[in-house]
A and B are shown apart, each in its own frame.
Chain A
Amino acid sequence: MSIADKAKDKAKRNPEWMLGILVVLHLIALSLNRVPGQPGVRVLQVVLMTVTTPFQSGIGNSVGWLSGQWKGYFQLRRVREENEWLKSERTRLASEQLALREQIARYGRLGQLVEAGDRIGYRAIRARVVGRDVSRLFGTVVIDKGSFHGISKDQPVVDAMGLVGRVVFVTQYSSRVILITDERHGAGSVIATTLAGRLLGIVRGARDSYYCQMDFITAPVKIDNGEPVFTSGQDGIYPPGLLIGRVANPTDQPVSTQQRLVVAPAAELGRLEIVSVLQVTREQIRGAVDAVIAEEQRLEKGPINGPINEKKR
């Protein structure tokens, strides 16, 4: 039996196969027809395009999606690296900003100090606080200027806000300064009141405290919190008129008639960085005291303040 006969026999027994083959062949022939109205386009192209477009679109979308995810992944990685870099940059900038702020503050304080020095009218040596006495609560500090720079013992030390203390120990390139809060420290002081005039006293440091205390020499009168306390110049160390601090009695006793007052230092003793050591001699102090007394007397005798002072008395 030849192959053709076998095929015929098979086709007779299974005509469905034959039908299927013929249908497929006819569909192929159909697809080779040209599309009516479009001579250049065959039906096959249209059919193939119609059939393949959804798949193509699906594949294209999938590839696009995968590509997007892939790109996103890499972008994410880049973003992470960028984030790390930004974090380190932020830290660096923050520290830089901190340093700059510190510098600005230092320059600000320096400016205030210069202004204060100008106000006081004495020659001053600016020094940096480089050490603190850890054995006591801010009892003494060490500054980076010494005898080589012209600093000598008992010279008053101020900052922009007020009196800090005085030099107690001098080396070639550094000095130790005793603060006004040290209990070993004492300074002649004065409170200028409207009613009682000048109230003299001594400001001393208090044990284990950030405050000072003022003991009156003259009889005490009512003094409100916040009244300024100045150096009187009568101790021969501090020139008169340096601001020591302000009266700061406990809040439940706003008005004090006590013999001893609490004084809050004006200088920022807890944050000392730059100070000025005043180059003032004893003669200068004495002269200043005399000038203050003379001025006081002049004011007491003056035409404007005279009646008032009389009335006060």
Chain B
Amino acid sequence: MEIDNRKTLKILGCLLVAGFLQTTLVHVAPDWLARWLGYIDWLMLVTIYIALQRNPLQGMLTGVVAGAIHDAQSGMPAFGVAGLAYVAVAYVTYSITALVIVDNLLVRYIAVAASSLLNTSIRLVFYALLGLSLPVLAGGKTVTANFVFTLLIHLIASTLLYILLDRIFLKGDDLRRRRTLARRRRL
């Protein structure tokens, strides 16, 4: 129980940081970087990571909280859209991990790619239904461009972010096992 609570706190902390990054990073980063950073959905990446832990309940609840943080900060009259998208993302990620037993980088990439596309699709649909436009689309990008840039930037960001999250969430043995596995693959 104590371990669960600690993990929950970690998740909450990660989500808060992700939310902070999502709202402030774009403004503090240089312009050339900010354009790319604007496409990164840090909260989604955290949700995907939690869902990759093969705990669907935890993943989906993380999605709910992440969605609430996102919608609370976005200031758009569309409360619930992000949560819905993150819950769907968590479920899809869990479904992928349920299909593929092994846990490696490829699975993570597949999960991130599928989740990214799904997240963007859901948001596009619901924002359109509510008569709103995606924040990233407001810059004049087309939908296709939005899909492609989002996918690419999420794959890159997830690689870096998940290394950090592995350090936070995985226990010592798991981390060692994972590193050993990675070293063997390189050899």
Contact = CB atoms under 8 A, between A and B. Distances in A.
Most chain-A CB neighbours within 10 Å: which of B81, B88, B130?
Answer: B130
A33 B94 CA distance: 29
Contacts of B56: 11-12, 15, 18
Contact of B67 (A12, A26, A35, A36): A26
Interface of B is mostly: helix
B57 A11 contact: yes
B19 interface: no
Contacts of B83: 22, 26, 29
A255 to B, nearest CB: 110
A33 B78 contact: yes
B115 to A, nearest CB: 14
A186 to B, nearest CB: 117
Given A11-B56, A30-B126, A43-B130, A19 B77 contact: no
A27 B80 CA distance: 7
A26 B87 contact: yes
Contact of B60 (A19, A28, A29, A36): A19
B80 A30 contact: yes
A219 interface: no
A11 B61 CA distance: 11
Interface string A204-247: 00000000000000000000000000000000000000000000
A18 B130 contact: no
Interface string B62-106: 011001000000000111110110011001001000000000000
Nearest to A47: B129
B124 interface: no
Contact of B79 (A11, A23, A33): A33
B131 interface: yes
Nearest to A36: B131
B84 A30 contact: yes
A156 to B, nearest CB: 111
A8 interface: yes
Contacts of B63: 22
A37 interface: yes
B57 A27 contact: no
A153 interface: no
Nearest to A26: B84
Contact of A30 (B55, B60, B78): B78
B178 to A, nearest CB: 23
B132 interface: yes
Given A15-B60, A30-B80, A35 B87 contact: no
A34 interface: yes
A29 B78 CA distance: 9
Interface in A5-33: 8, 11-12, 15, 18-19, 22-23, 26-30, 32-33
B146 to A, nearest CB: 20
Nearest to B81: A30
A22 B89 CA distance: 12
A28 to B, nearest CB: 8
A34 B77 CA distance: 6
Given A11-B56, A30-B79, A33-B79, A19 B84 contact: no
Interface of B: 55-57, 60, 63-64, 67, 77-81, 83-84, 87-88, 91, 94, 126, 130-132
Given A18-B60, A36-B132, 14 more contacts: A15-B56, A15-B60, A18-B56, A22-B83, A23-B87, A23-B88, A26-B80, A28-B80, A29-B79, A29-B80, A32-B80, A33-B78, A33-B79, A35-B131
20 contacts: A8-B57, A11-B57, A12-B56, A12-B57, A15-B94, A19-B60, A19-B88, A19-B91, A22-B60, A22-B63, A26-B80, A26-B84, A29-B83, A30-B78, A30-B80, A30-B81, A32-B79, A33-B78, A33-B79, A35-B131
Interface of A: 8, 11-12, 15, 18-19, 22-23, 26-30, 32-37, 43
